[in-house]
Amino acid sequence: MKLPRLLASLLCAAPLLPAAETTAPKSDAAPPAAALAGDSTETYDTLYNHLTVERHGTLVELRARSRRGVFLESAVDLADPLNLQVAYTRTLFAAAYFQSKPARVLMLGLGGAGFHRLFAASYPAAVLQTVELDPKVFELCQTALGFQPTARTPVTLVDGRMFVKRDPATYDWIILDAFRGGYVPPHLKTEEFYRECAARLTDQGVFVSNLDDETALYFSDVRTIQAVFAQVVLFYPEKGNVIAFAVKYQTPVITDPAKWPAEASLNPRFKGKLDLAEVRAQHVPVPEAQVRTAAVLTDDFAPVEFLNVIKANNAEEKP
């Protein structure tokens, strides 16, 4: 009788674990003074990541280790947090070319919340809902990287796919940036998941995904996005990152940069903080030849870990 009692106790104790947490909105606070001083390195082992926080003067970098090395997740200059330090976070704003008036944005993956601060400053009426799996990332964002969530930038600590499946809201931008080091979990890479995201997009909404272009997984990523969305546009901000923008509609055509709106007409609040003309120049064509032969990733067939170790063979003509 002892074993059944023990099992019953364990099962009864399980519901006592804390429930889902959506952060209470707080005021926008300045980073703590202590965080501004001196250089230091701190490491943290969490349920999901091995994280490193490096401080170089007012610059704070959040890094995550994976089997392929240590990856820079985010960097924030605490003295000038609206000056985005990581190139691809600036590229994410190219979503404005395709949906220039976002009222609701969903971001899967918090990182160091560098994007969040410029977004909140640029779109003061919009809501940016973030979903983050690792509570330690959220904690470090607040304690080390100076991010304070507000009513317009709430953060929910859950798995991104579980959130998308249950959240009834629709969004103008959905941004997928859920890396663990250099690796995105397979269940966030599949055709079924992208269809769940598409169902949460408004008709004119844009789906944005941060892709690693250095392995064969990149071609399957693009092919899988193409399997769900009618049009896909790629930007190449820096080595190791390609940002894909995808929409559900066939017309108007978004694949011709000449038809994109002029930067000056998009958002005057970008002025002095974000050079969208620089971002426009990052546009690159889809590598059709490799994508055509790549496999579509599904819940039933997603060899993500294996494609992620095969070097992409288009290094010379990248991307």
Partner 1 sequence: MISVVFYTLVVVLGILSMGFQMLASRLLSPHYGSSIVEWVWLISTFLAAFSTGSLLGGWISNRPPAQRGLLQGIAATLGVASLAVTAFWQKPMLDWIELKFIPDVAQMNDQGSGGMNAAVFLSCMALFFVPVTTLSSFGPQCVGWLAARGTPPGKASGVVYAVSTFGNIAGVMMTVFVLIPNFRVSHLLDVWLGVALVSLTGLICILRSAPKPAAK
Binding flag, residue 300, partner 1 (CB under 8 A) = yes
Q: Smaller CB distance to partner 1: residue 21 or 278?
A: 21
Using CB under 8 A, pick the residue from 1, 2, 5, 17 that binds partner 1: 17
Residue spans of beta strands (DSSP E) within the chain: 40-45, 50-56, 59-66, 69-77, 104-108, 127-132, 155-157, 171-176, 201-211, 231-238, 241-247, 283-284
Using DSSP, state whether 33 is helix, strand or coil.
helix
The answer to whether residue 156 forms part of the interface with partner 1 (CB under 8 A) is yes
Q: Among residues 166, 203, 258, 265, which is the contact residue for partner 1, using CB under 8 A? A: 166
Contact 174, 161 (CB under 8 A): no
Per-residue mark of binding to partner 1, 30-59 (x: CB under 8 A) = -----------------xx-----------
In this chain, which of 4, 15, 69, 285 binds partner 1, going by CB under 8 A?
Answer: 15
- How far apart CA 37 and CA 27 sit, in angstroms, is 23
Pick from 99, 95, 147, 160: nearest CA to 121: 147
14 belongs to the binding site for partner 1 (CB under 8 A): yes
Residue pair 93/82 in contact by the 8 Å Cβ criterion: no
Tokens of 200: 């949460």
Please name every residue paired with 203 in a beta bridge, in sequence order, or none if there are none. none
Decide whether 190 or 226 has the Cβ nearer to partner 1. Answer: 190
- In single-letter form, the type of residue at position 122 comes to S
Q: Which of 36, 72, 126, 158 binds partner 1 (CB under 8 A)?
A: 158
CA gap 304, 247 in Å, rounded: 24
Give the interface size with partner 1 as a residue count (CB under 8 A): 37
Considering the complex, what minimum distance in angstroms separates the CB of residue 84 from partner 1?
27
Considering only 115, 119, 163, 219, the residue that binds partner 1 (CB under 8 A) is 163
Answer yes or no whether residue 153 interacts with partner 1 by CB under 8 A.
no
Contacting positions for partner 1 (CB under 8 A): 11, 14-22, 47-48, 133-135, 156-159, 161-163, 166-167, 185-187, 190, 192-193, 298-303, 306
